[in-house]
Structures are given as C-alpha cells and as structure tokens.
Structure 1
Amino acid sequence: MKRKITISIIAILFFAINSFSQNFINAYTNRTAGSTSGSIDRIVTDNMKNVINATMFSGTIVVGGVSYPSNGVLSAMIIKRDDNDSILWSKSLGCGKVVILGGLYTDNQNNIYATGYFGDSLIATNLDCAPFPISNSSGYKSFIIKYSPNGTVLWSNSINIETGNANSNGDLFRITGNGTNRIVVSSFLYHVAPQTIGTSVLDPADGNLFFAEIDNNGIWQYATVFGGTSMHLSLSLAMAANNDLFISGEFKGNLNLGAAGILSTLTSSPQDFVCKANPAGSFVWGMMLESSSWWRTEVLAKNNNVLLFGCFGGSLTLGGTTLTSGTYTTYLTEIDNSGSFLWAKKYGNYETQFYTATRNNNHLFFTGLTSSSFSSNQFDTLNLTYATSLPAANTYSAICYILETDLNGNPLKGACYSLNFPTLNTESMACTDSKTYLTGNALGIAAFGGYVITSVPINSSNYVAVFTDSANIVSGQTYYDFNSNNIFDAGDVNCNTKLTLTKSGNAITTIVNGPYQVGVGTGTYTSTIADAPLYYNYSPSSYTSAFSTLTNQIDSLNDFAFQPITGQNDLVVDLVLGSLRPGFSGNAYATVTNVGTTAKSGSMNVTINHPDITIATSTPAATSIVGNVATLSYNLNPTQHITYLLEYDVSVTAILSSLVIGSASAPDGTDLTPINNFDTIHTVITGSYDPNSKEVYPRGNIAPQFITDGSALEYTIHFQNTGNDTAFTVVLTDTISNKLNLSTFQLVSSSHPVIVNFYENEVWFRFNNINLVDSTTNEPFSHGFVKYKITPKNNCALGDEIKNTAYIFFDFNTAIITNTAITLIANPSGVDEIDRNKNSSVFPNPVNGKFTTVKSKNPISSIEIYDAYGRKLQTINANKAFEIKVATDKLSSGVYFVKIYSGDGVYSEKVVVE
C-alpha cells in the first residue's frame, strides 16, 4: 500500500501525514547525543555534484561511524558527501581552545578552501591541520587551509588579527575566488603589530576590517583595509569573471574606501553597502544603500556584474526603481561593473527578512524569514501560500521561505520551511544543477516539509536540507524480499534495477538501488520495473501517481518487492583482460555472480591462452594455478558475487599482434542458462597500452542485423592510479551517444563496489572510498574497471558511427579523457572467413536455408546448440574437424547459441535462423 505522503524522517522523529506540497527531499544533522553543533554553518558544492558542509561543535560528534571529540571549547567539522548523500570523508579542526570556520570555497579542480580564526587571548594554541599545522602564541589568527578533493591538507597560511578577546562574528570571515589561481578572504583586525602581507603592510591603525588575496599555492599577494571608524556586522564576497571583487555588508560609522570615497551612516542603525575592488585590491567604487538588512546582505557574481541581496523597510530607491514595504522585505538588484543599477525587485509584502542566497548556471535561490502571522505572501509575481508548503503539524514559530528565480529575479517557484527561533537560522546555501542545499542551526526543532530535525533542549543542532528543482516527487524502494512478506526486514537487501515512469506514452528510465526519488511534473505517471531480475516475481506490478498541479507533492511508498522463485540455479561468468605487452605484467578480473535463487558453490576456471603468458597470482587466493590456467572457488548466496584479480606475466618474446584468448567458465549441470556460465575474450599482444581507456565489443563494425536482433554493445572502461598517492574516490562520467538506447543500460561487472547515476544522457560511475593505491606502491591493485551493456537504437542506419568517450576523475581532480570507442554500422563483406581476432565463425548468419557452417582455427571436438532460454537442444561430435555443417531446417525462426569445444578453449557464437 502507498499513500501521499508518508516519510521516514531523518534525525529523530518519525511520523505520517496525508498530503502537502514541498520541494525538500532530505534533511539531516551532524549532531549526536552529548554534542552541540550548529553555531556557525557553511556549505558549498563542487563540479562533481558533491556537497561539503562545515559546522562548529563541542563535545563528541560521530560522523560515518567515526567519533570526533572536540579539541578545546569549540572545534570545526568539515564533511564531504556525494550526490547520493553518502559520506566520502570528514575532518575535524581544533586548537585546544576556539576555532571558528567562517567560509568555504571550492575551485575548478574541486579543491576545498576553509577560512576562519582560532586561538585564545591568554595561552598559546596550535591549529591541528596536519601536515601543515599553524602555531600561535596568545591571541588569535585568521587562517586559510587548502584541502585536496580527498581531504588531504595541501597547505595552510595565517595572519595575526587580535591579541585580546576576539570578535566572535564568523560572518566577517568570507572567501571567494576565480576557480583557478585567485582566492580572496576577509577578516577583522585589532590590537596587533603591523605585518607584511604580500605587497602590503596590514596595520589595524588604518582600520579594523580587511580582505586579502592568496594564490592557489598559498602565497599572499596583497591585503586591503577598510579604513575609518566603523562597526561591521557581516560581509559577503564575490569575484566576477574579469577578476574584479564585489563586497557587500552592513556597517555603522565611517567606511573609508580610498579613491572610491568615504561612506557614512545616516542613523544609529547599520546601513547596507556595496563596493568593487579591482584585481590589484584597490577600491574602484562604493555606495551606501538607504536600507538596513541588520543580519546580512549577499553578493553573487553575474558575469562581470553583481547581484545584491538584502532587506529594507519603508522605501528604497535603487537606480530608477523605488521599492516600498511596510515591514522588512527582501530586495534583489543587479548592478553593472561600473556601479549602475540595472533593475531591482522586492519579494514579499510582509516580513521577508533576507538570510542567504546562491546560484547555479541558470537560476537563483534565496531564503529568508517570514511570519506565521500570515497565511501567504506575494513574492513579486509568485504568491506563496504557506499551508501548501508545510503540514500543519510542522508550522513552528519561525516560518522561512526559499525562492527560486531566473537570473533576472523572476520567480519560478517557492516553498516554506519552519523552525522554532527566528534569528538567522539559515546561514549558507549551495547548489548543483538539480539540487539546492541549505544549512544552519536548529535550536530545538526544524521542519523541511516532512523531514524533521530535533535537538535536545539544551543543545543546538546544525542541519543540512536538500531542496530539489523538480516540482513533484515519486519515491519508494526496490529490494529483494527473500522471505516474501512484502516488508523490507532483516536479511533483505536493496535491489539494483531500472525504474520506468510513463506519462501519456512518454517514458523516463532511471537506475535505482534501494530507496529512490524521481522528480516529475504534472499529470498521471505509471511506475514499472524495466528489467526485473530473473527468477524473481515482484509485487506490485505497477504504481500510479497523479499530480494535478505543480504543487510540489511527494507520492511515497512506491515500493517494489522482488520475491524469489524457489529452486532456480543460474550463475553468470564475466572476464576482463587488461594490458598485454611483451615484458610486462597485466591484470585479469574474473567474476562469477549467483543470479539464481539457490546457494551455489563450486569452481571457476580461467585460462589465458597464449604460449608466452603465465598466471602469477590471484586475489583472493586461487585453489590452484598451473601455467596459464587458474582454478578459483566460489560459495555464493543468491545475489552475491565474487571477483578474482589475476596477475599474469607476458614474456618479452611474445609476438606483437599474436592472438590471445581469455576464457572463464563455471560449469554447472543444473544451470538454467549454461550459455552464460562462460565468457571468452579474443584480443592480441600490443606494443603500447593506455591504462585509462575505453573499449567496445564487438570491435570494429557491426552489421544492420546486429541492430534488428536487439544485440547489445559491451563497453569496458579501464582506469589506473598512476599518481603518487592513494586515490580515495574515482568517478567515471560517460556521455552516452544519442544512437544508444539509455533505457537498455545494464551494469555487467566492476572491479570495486560502484554507484551508478543517470543525469539526462550521462552515466556516472562513483567508486566511493575505493582506496585505490598508486601504481608504484602496488601495481596490480592500482587498476580498476567497469563494464556495461547497452543496445543501439532501432533507427540506427547504415553508415552511422556510434562514438563514446569516458572521463576519469581521481579524487575529483582534472579529468583523464579516454580514447573514443567507435562502432561503425556497415554491411558484412559476405566472405566466410574467420576474423583474425576471433577463433571461430558461423556462416551464413543469419541462416535462411537448411545448413550453416561452423569454422574454427583449431580442431573442433564437439558442438552444442542452445535456444534463447539456455536449453541445450543438440550435441554434435565434430571428430577434430576444422569445420562442420549444422542442420537448421528443423529449428524454428529465432536466436540460437552455438557452443564450440576445441583444443584451446570453449567459444560461443550467436546464430539467427530466419
């Protein structure tokens, strides 16, 4: 049974409600029992769709099963997750006293930069960012740390900023950059001696706030002070495409911007300001707005212009536009590079105090505080009704909004969430192309649609909430229901399969592996399983989800339980060969998978047939290795598999282009589809080899008959860590050709556990926590691969080329681009000769007469004929002949498989009888 909506709540509460609209698809906290988190929270994303969040904590916090005790009164925690919310790594940052982390930033290479301050007014401290710790005598230092994508500290640097008691405002510590070699940070500055920062002398006598540029190698370039006597409440930094720097904030008193003039507040209230500095750090222009955002303003770069967010009450004139509001209302304006206002908009008629903002390539997202005193609010052209964004049970005292607009500020959609205190409870946002992340402090309770986070009464909790760009959500779970009780309980496991959602004849297909969420629009959608695992019935056969409007609803509990048909025996064998170079070693991967429903045990034999190749080692250990033959054992429950890594040696005398035949087999007399109990690879000795490559099988050309038969191309992506350190994460991205049917994608095997995601026409393979050693440390274990099958589209025509290239990211660094695997659709030559890279052939094929001829380069001992269901129909004794005629006149039209036993191995061919 399903209903709209029941959600398993992340964190502490679990409850069920009937129906409401929202865009939130997850929320979680890093606080654990006995700890406090959430005093200052920051979040960023990188180019690989990963999300990095930071929070302050005291006590002991547990992340991914690892305990982190606070090193001092207050420590910082940085956590990196992938697009599936799986933890990739976590790091704590302490000094024995106080650490405040105020800013996070990622560059184009997915490196992570963190800035803030640490220390104590009385004792010496040491920031524990090994291998580049920062020591400090009494007082406080601002810091910047660069982390590699895998969390290794690459360098750190610091500036003395205070000898007495520190200003605790983390909003003054900001960071931005141009994605490559320019990074700018900001900080307060009090009671320290003048110090040289790059080409500048930084002196608190000139002012108590500054920004400084550092390059990507950790070398300071300059520092610029905001002069004057003023109190600063917060800052925001954004770097334009031309490397100009935009800065906004709130201040009281006088703000000296050098050649750009002096700004002076008109009242005792803080005033908003915005200014621009050139790439050398000199102020170019600045202006004060007749508004007081109190808590925060925000700047985001838009090419060479800047978008400025804040809030105001009364009236506010921005260029030629005057905005009016009776209470605090959010404003957004675009300012060009020379300081002229281009347009301005307000959002909300009643109490929409601005919090924070972010953007992706096409959209803006921003949040703020509104009020539970009102049932709705007008956000420019969008009326946001709170009741349709929050269940009544989750409407706490502080109602917040999140709004999505285009880059010109025109509203697209919005939603509400609620907390039980109003003061800047959302501190930071970040987004990818499909998700937006919010983080902040839940002091007591926070609700994001149906996702609720609570904290114990005396402790605060940080939160991360995930907002989706999709209007409606269909969610559920796919799992192997081994005890057939339609409940996911002990012993059951997630099922990796493909889910198809169909609306009015149009279908979308996605890979799911257990819990899933699919974004959809309006209309009625039918959810079905695209490729149910063999020998399992599933229940139910389909679900229907109806969405009348874009009201941001979740239709949940669309669960599919795959229940075993008893007594089904079926093993699948797969073999992958690596490099075959004279005088070098190579790796083979042999995998046997139990796709049946009974436990199976036995032996798999692997042969690499070439006179100059011997198998050296196996991991796990082989039962036996004799020359080029390895015997490997398996003991598998249903759905389990085992992969053996075999290292082989190629003699220096091996002849280039000589044929190598690799075969793996796990014979089983009870197997229902014996044709897939063996796998054979035909390849050749090569003089050179790229360890990061992509290959396709069949190699070369395919005939139009290949398309009409519905045959699949098999792609293998090989990768090797040739760096000088362990790779903790490997991601492969593969843009699928528009001539391939993505809905037919099937993962065949991989060297390590892999997560597969679809992003439109891209397939991403994520190897999280792979810990792939470098090639100098352990060459055999520095390799990996993934193999998949996919079928060409039926409209592929003669002369079409199917091209595929993969991109390999080691720890999210610059991509290694593989070769392009090319398949040409061409008419067969019509000759009946064996391909030089194959050991056997069948001709004619397709067959429309009474006979077809099987040929082999080696004497054939026997031939077996199987139908498409794997049933053996006939055995023919060939008496060591090199070719033999096979009668087909009694075979009905269809696809058959010929299993050829010869002196050097077992091979298979597919035959089509017309």
Structure 2
Amino acid sequence: MPCSYGQNVPIPSSSFSTAADVMNWTIAPNTVTASWFNGGCKALFVDNLGNPNATITSPVFSLGASGFYELELEYGLIFTGNAGTFELIDSNSTSISATTINTIAGTCTDWPNPKNSTLIFSNVTAGNYQLRITIPSSQFFLAGARLEVYNPKIVSGSINATSCSNPNMLNNFPMKITNLSDNSSYFTSTINGNYTFLLPNITGNFLIEPVNNGNLIAIPSSINLTIDSTTNSYLNNDFCLTSNTTGIDVSAQLVSQTLARPGFNADYELIYMNHGNVTTGNESIVLNFDATKMTFLSASITPSSVTSNSITWTYSNLTPLEIRSITMSFNIFTPPTVNSGEILNFTGNITPAVDFDPTNNNINLSQPVVNAYDPNDVLCIQGDQITPAQVGDELTYRIRFQNTGTASAVNIIVKTVLDSELDWSTFEPLTASHAYTTSIINGNELTYTFNNINLEDSTTNEPASHGWIFYRIKSSTTASVGDDFEATANIFFDYNLPITTNTYNTVIYDPLSINDRPTEGIVALYPNPVTNYITINTLHDTSYSLFDLSGKLLRYDRLSSGLNEVDLSQLSNGLYILKSVNLYGKSSTHKIYKL
C-alpha cells in the first residue's frame, strides 16, 4: 500500500531508547568514541574532538514507495561553528541528497518536541537506504531521526507559441500560479515548452497564467484550478500563446553577472527575444566595447566576427516569443590603465531587416569598475538614478551570492521585499545561475529557492562558488522626483543564519534641475572651478555619478563619510554635472567647471 502524506517512515534504532541502539549504527574511523547519552534524554553521543571528519551510518531501512520524503532530525553540536553533513545514501553508498548544517549548542530534548531541521528528498525511488552523517572535529549528539512522506501538489502543463496545431515549444518562459485565498504566487519557467509547479500540501482555488508583459494573447488567458486534499497531480494545464504585435519585434539586453575589477575577468549575459508574431530570417547582433579598458575572451556562442572593439553574432529563425541568450567573458585591464570608479560602456544593437518597434533594438550598459567587493550583493542595472521619463519603465535587478563556507551548500534561499514604489504585479523572473523556484507572498515578499543546488565552497572551487539571480519589475507610474526604490536581500545557505546584502537605492532625479546647494548637508565640494583634484565632503557614505552635458555617464564611485579627494585631471575642460545619493536616499546635484 503506498504511503500517505504525513506518514512516518522509521529509521531503525534512531530513537536510542537503549544503549543497544547505538551499537546498530556504524562509526568510522574506529578510533572515534560513540556512546549512549542519557543526560536528560536518550541520544547517540559521539566524541570526535581532535580527529578528522567522522561518519555515522544508520542501519538499512526500506522506502516502500517512490516519491518525496522529508527528513526530520533532532540533533545538537556541543561546540558551535562547525558543519555537519546529513545524507541519504542508497545500497551502493551513493548520496541521493545531502545538506550541510552549522548545528548549534543546546540541551537534548526527547521527541516529539519540534524538530531541529528538515530536508526534502525529491524523486526518491523505492528501495533500501541509509542515513549517513559526517561530523567535523567536535562533540555531537543525535536524539532522533525519521523520514516523513511528503506529497507536494504537482501542477503541470505546456506552453506553445504561434499555433497550438503547429506548436513551438518555448524555453525559459515564465509561468505563475496564484493562491486566490491569500494572493501568494509561485513562479517557474518552461523547459522545452513544459512547466511544473511543486506546491506545498495546500488546498484551495488557484489561478494559472503566463507572465504577460503586455504583448501576449494567451488562449486561455488563465486557468482556474481547485486543489483538494486527495488529488496530488493536476496535469495538462496547457496554453497557446500568440503575440499581439504584427511582424518581427526583437529586443536585446546586456546584463552583468559579475562585478568589474581591474585585472580580473568579468562575465556578462546578452538576452534577446522576438516579441512579434513572425519568425526572423538571418539577422545579426553587434556589441561594442571599450578596447582601451578590456579585451574579449570567449562567448557561449561563437561570434561571426570579432574586431578590436566589437563582436558580431548572427542568428536565424528566432520564433515568436522565443528567448535566447549568450554568455561571454572579458578581461579588465590592470591599473593604471583601468582604475576603480571608471565606467565600462557597452553599446550595440540587434538588427532585423524590418522591425515593429526599433526603440528596443539598442543595447546599452554602463558598469562601474570597483576594487574589493562583497560577493553577496544587490544591484539595479539601470543604476542609482533614473529620470522622470523612465518612471513606469522596467527596472532590472541582480542579486549575487557566494558560498564562502567550508563545504558545499545544498540548499540556498534568497529573500527580498519589493519596494512600495514598484508595481508588484509586473514582477518577472528573467534568469539565474542554477535551477530555481520563485514565490511571492503578502504582495511583495519575494523568495527564490535553490533546492539541491550543491553550490561548491570558495575554498574548494572558487569559480563554482558563485550564483546569481536576475528579475525585472516596473516602477509605479505614480512615483515622482525624489522618490527612491530600495532593494536588500537576505541569503540563507542551508540552515545557517542569513547573510544580509547591501541596500541599493535608485532615485528619480530631474537632470534639468541643477541645484548647487547641498540638500541636508549631503555633499560639499571644492575647489570649483577645478584643475586636477576636487575634494568632496560628505556627512554619510555616498555614491556619485559624473555626467557630461549630453547626459553620458563618465564615472561612478562610492565615497566614505568625511573628506574624499577625486582626480579629475583626465577630463577635458568644460562643464560637468555631478549627482550624489547618500545611504539614506537623499540626493543633490552640482555643476563642476573643469579648467
């Protein structure tokens, strides 16, 4: 008989009710001491102080049904700050799934007190298994371990474009399901036209719909679904998509996956899409870069041509609503050629023969060069300032994370709160470094979940220790000059305390309004006019952007509170605009005269 939701699957001898239970667990190496602990509760106690890693393996147990299982553990680590690894292994001692947990000191308590931790094992097949625990040089006790059947609600379907009778299976197309009782939403993306939601064991009325950026016609426009307590699978929730744009309408956007640092490589992703209802012919994409500051290294799609400062790719048969991408790497030159605060400018275009909306054909990215950096951060691609003309347009956000621990991170959760000045209904997940699921609760509480990401630690494999997220969302049309959009993220690596990123502020400013009087003492600068060096005095940590009169961004950098000397000697003589934003979102604008 198949297991039902919530049914416990016992792990033999895991209650440690007697000392004999300890003998049924395998301890390696044999120099490690294991004993029965009965100080307030009954537990397996392992003294591994002064030794390398030790492993503790349970007796064999049987899982009679394939599916999802939740591991519940009651454990403690006498000395804190060390990581223990918990694995489900099969009959060949192959790890099916694992998690790394920095366990905490505490007193041992008997079941059925609340469990210390849970881990979902997905798509487990019926068979024989063991629980294996690896502990570092420390003292450890395990008071209980059990598996519980976990039956998520599976909602799936397909997305076809152009014509359902002649399907074009879309990749990476975002889908959304909303719980109508509390308006919480879950997001996923298609793989070869198919999508799947794995929902918690919940019931109620739900709404499934494609994420519509305004140019789609979906048939049906949405699907109402009632999820009950007895049915686990809801299949064949299919949509046929067409574009309400007549002809070809392609767009391209370049985003930075990493920060740009002098002497290091920097990675980028070029995302392009056909918003129209006609398949493209043989077309091209041109990307220009500043060859005085960087050199092109490689790309995931081989360019058709590369010059000293430009790259060209050809593409063909980009079908209606299809999304493709190209990843690429550049090497940033070392100082004094490239210094912190300078701007890397990318321009380019995507060129169909005839395009419905040429305004989205241009590629523009201005990225500041930095030195030391926090590997966990938030960035708005549009920068820390936008103009009133950009209000209501899309803002693209990037969240980066890195596992700087001492073991791989099995599960990672990223949480952020969408600012009140953003239009929450326009949220759209774009891309990420690893497979993920996304959810929104309470209107604006956004969560990305990376189950079984197994992200390497930076000591073992630094390049593989990084991850990132991109999403976009429109600013509210009611936002006005002086309003700002704030973004901060909390990143959870397994069961550790969260790492909180920087807070990134993007302020709406009017470039035609220049006020030389600092607002609330945000910034003062002298001498002005300036010949070589200008001193900027700030009350708080501040970022600044330097523009020429055409509006071109020339420099971006951050300043600490107090006096900061900035070198302007390389600028041509003339008038420039300096705009600053402090850590509280207060901004000011100054004219600078360069002699």
Are 2:377 and 1:693 equivalent residues in the alignment? yes
Query: Whole-Å Cα distance in 2 between the matches of residues 476 and 217 of structure 1?
Result: 36
Question: Following TM superposition, by how much is the alpha carbon of 1:652 offset from its aligned partner in structure 2, in angstroms?
Answer: 1.7
Of 658, 669, 672 in structure 1, the residue corresponding to residue 356 of structure 2 is 672
For the residue of structure 2 that corresponds to 1:538, the secondary structure is strand
Q: Is the 8 A contact 1:478 1:496 kept in 2?
A: no
Question: Following TM superposition, by how much is the alpha carbon of 1:828 offset from its aligned partner in structure 2, in angstroms?
Answer: 5.5
Question: Following TM superposition, by how much is the alpha carbon of 1:157 offset from its aligned partner in structure 2, in angstroms?
Answer: 5.3
Query: Whole-Å Cα distance in 1 between the matches of residues 325 and 465 of structure 2?
Result: 19
In the alignment, residue 299 of structure 1 is paired with which amino acid?
A: P
Of 454, 470, 474 in structure 2, the residue corresponding to residue 787 of structure 1 is 470
Partner of 2:498: 815
Question: Following TM superposition, by how much is the alpha carbon of 1:613 offset from its aligned partner in structure 2, in angstroms?
Answer: 1.8
Are 2:342 and 1:663 equivalent residues in the alignment? no
Q: Is the 8 A contact 1:143 1:158 kept in 2?
A: no
Moved more, 821-830 or 579-588: 821-830
Query: Whole-Å Cα distance in 2 between the matches of residues 493 and 11 of structure 1?
Result: 35
Query: Whole-Å Cα distance in 2 between the matches of residues 591 and 117 of structure 1?
Result: 58
1:139-188 CA-to-partner distances (Å, cap 9, x unmatched) read x9x97899xxxxxx9533599xxxxxx999xxxxx96345xx349xxxxx
Residues 1:791 and 1:778: Cα distance change in structure 2 (over 3 Å) = same
Compare the two structures and name the one with the higher strand fraction: 1
Of 395, 401, 426 in structure 2, the residue corresponding to residue 713 of structure 1 is 395
1:21-50 CA-to-partner distances (Å, cap 9, x unmatched) read xxx9x79xxxxxxxxxx9x825xxxxxxxx
Question: Following TM superposition, by how much is the alpha carbon of 1:821 offset from its aligned partner in structure 2, in angstroms?
Answer: 0.8
In the alignment, residue 698 of structure 1 is paired with which amino acid?
A: Q
Partner of 2:266: 586
Query: Whole-Å Cα distance in 2 between the matches of residues 734 and 574 of structure 1?
Result: 23
For the residue of structure 2 that corresponds to 1:580, the secondary structure is coil
Aligned positions of 1:145-544 closer than 5 A: 155-156=54-55, 176-177=74-75, 181-182=77-78, 243-247=106-110, 298-300=111-113, 464-466=149-151, 476-482=155-161, 484-485=163-164, 495-499=173-177, 509-513=185-189, 514-516=195-197, 527=207, 529=209, 531-532=211-212, 537-543=217-223
Partner of 2:298: 617
For the residue of structure 2 that corresponds to 1:609, the secondary structure is coil
Question: Following TM superposition, by how much is the alpha carbon of 1:570 offset from its aligned partner in structure 2, in angstroms?
Answer: 4.1
Q: Is the 8 A contact 1:134 1:157 kept in 2?
A: no
In the alignment, residue 531 of structure 1 is paired with which amino acid?
A: V
Partner of 1:906: none
Query: Whole-Å Cα distance in 2 between the matches of residues 636 and 752 of structure 1?
Result: 27
Q: Is the 8 A contact 1:699 1:823 kept in 2?
A: yes
Query: Whole-Å Cα distance in 2 between the matches of residues 573 and 658 of structure 1?
Result: 25
Alignment size in residue pairs = 449
Residues 1:743 and 1:486: Cα distance change in structure 2 (over 3 Å) = farther
Residues 1:561 and 1:615: Cα distance change in structure 2 (over 3 Å) = same
Residues 1:541 and 1:501: Cα distance change in structure 2 (over 3 Å) = farther
For the residue of structure 1 that corresponds to 2:375, the secondary structure is coil
Partner of 1:647: 330
In the alignment, residue 237 of structure 2 is paired with which amino acid?
A: D
Unaligned runs of 5+ in 1: 1-9, 13-23, 28-37, 43-54, 56-99, 105-114, 120-126, 147-152, 160-165, 169-173, 184-213, 219-240, 248-297, 302-357, 361-429, 443-461, 469-474, 842-854, 859-914
For the residue of structure 1 that corresponds to 2:424, the secondary structure is strand
Query: Whole-Å Cα distance in 2 between the matches of residues 808 and 819 of structure 1?
Result: 12
Query: Whole-Å Cα distance in 2 between the matches of residues 501 and 246 of structure 1?
Result: 37
Unaligned runs of 5+ in 2: 37-42, 62-71, 85-103, 128-146, 190-194, 517-543, 555-595
Residues 1:728 and 1:674: Cα distance change in structure 2 (over 3 Å) = farther
Q: Is the 8 A contact 2:73 2:118 kept in 1?
A: no
Of 41, 51, 54 in structure 1, the residue corresponding to residue 9 of structure 2 is 41
Identity level (%): 21
Residues 1:245 and 1:770: Cα distance change in structure 2 (over 3 Å) = closer
Residues 1:157 and 1:713: Cα distance change in structure 2 (over 3 Å) = same
Q: Is the 8 A contact 1:616 1:649 kept in 2?
A: no
1:611-641 CA-to-partner distances (Å, cap 9, x unmatched) read 2222233345544544343334556764352
Query: Whole-Å Cα distance in 2 between the matches of residues 813 and 788 of structure 1?
Result: 25
1:811-843 CA-to-partner distances (Å, cap 9, x unmatched) read 56553322111234556652499x9556785xx
Q: Is the 8 A contact 1:714 1:787 kept in 2?
A: yes
1:293-328 CA-to-partner distances (Å, cap 9, x unmatched) read xxxxx5326xxxxxxxxxxxxxxxxxxxxxxxxxxx
Residues 1:600 and 1:771: Cα distance change in structure 2 (over 3 Å) = farther
For the residue of structure 1 that corresponds to 2:360, the secondary structure is helix
The Cα RMSD (Å) is 5.6
Partner of 2:14: 102
Q: Is the 8 A contact 1:588 1:648 kept in 2?
A: no
User: Higher relative contact order at CA 8 Å, sep ≥6: structure 1 or structure 2?
Assistant: 2
In the alignment, residue 155 of structure 1 is paired with which amino acid?
A: A
Query: Whole-Å Cα distance in 2 between the matches of residues 671 and 573 of structure 1?
Result: 13
Q: Is the 8 A contact 1:721 1:727 kept in 2?
A: yes
Partner of 1:844: none
Partner of 2:251: 572
- TM-score w.r.t. the length of structure 2 is 0.57
1:85-116 CA-to-partner distances (Å, cap 9, x unmatched) read xxxxxxxxxxxxxxx46369xxxxxxxxxx96
Partner of 1:742: 424
Question: Following TM superposition, by how much is the alpha carbon of 1:804 offset from its aligned partner in structure 2, in angstroms?
Answer: 1.6
For the residue of structure 2 that corresponds to 1:675, the secondary structure is helix
In the alignment, residue 576 of structure 1 is paired with which amino acid?
A: V
Q: Is the 8 A contact 1:716 1:786 kept in 2?
A: yes
Query: Whole-Å Cα distance in 1 between the matches of residues 553 and 75 of structure 2?
Result: 63
Query: Whole-Å Cα distance in 1 between the matches of residues 211 and 365 of structure 2?
Result: 26
Question: Following TM superposition, by how much is the alpha carbon of 1:561 offset from its aligned partner in structure 2, in angstroms?
Answer: 0.8
1:509-530 CA-to-partner distances (Å, cap 9, x unmatched) read 54244234599888xx684636
For the residue of structure 1 that corresponds to 2:359, the secondary structure is helix
Question: Following TM superposition, by how much is the alpha carbon of 1:744 offset from its aligned partner in structure 2, in angstroms?
Answer: 1.3
For the residue of structure 2 that corresponds to 1:102, the secondary structure is coil
Query: Whole-Å Cα distance in 1 between the matches of residues 118 and 411 of structure 2?
Result: 21
Question: Following TM superposition, by how much is the alpha carbon of 1:667 offset from its aligned partner in structure 2, in angstroms?
Answer: 2.0
Partner of 1:912: none
Partner of 2:368: 684
Question: Following TM superposition, by how much is the alpha carbon of 1:648 offset from its aligned partner in structure 2, in angstroms?
Answer: 1.7
For the residue of structure 1 that corresponds to 2:351, the secondary structure is coil
Question: Following TM superposition, by how much is the alpha carbon of 1:683 offset from its aligned partner in structure 2, in angstroms?
Answer: 3.0
Q: Is the 8 A contact 1:624 1:631 kept in 2?
A: yes
Query: Whole-Å Cα distance in 2 between the matches of residues 744 and 604 of structure 1?
Result: 28
Question: Following TM superposition, by how much is the alpha carbon of 1:745 offset from its aligned partner in structure 2, in angstroms?
Answer: 0.7
In the alignment, residue 382 of structure 2 is paired with which amino acid?
A: P
In the alignment, residue 268 of structure 2 is paired with which amino acid?
A: A
Query: Whole-Å Cα distance in 2 between the matches of residues 618 and 669 of structure 1?
Result: 25
Residues 1:116 and 1:598: Cα distance change in structure 2 (over 3 Å) = farther
Residues 1:823 and 1:598: Cα distance change in structure 2 (over 3 Å) = same
In the alignment, residue 737 of structure 1 is paired with which amino acid?
A: D
Larger radius of gyration: 1
Query: Whole-Å Cα distance in 2 between the matches of residues 829 and 551 of structure 1?
Result: 60
For the residue of structure 2 that corresponds to 1:743, the secondary structure is helix
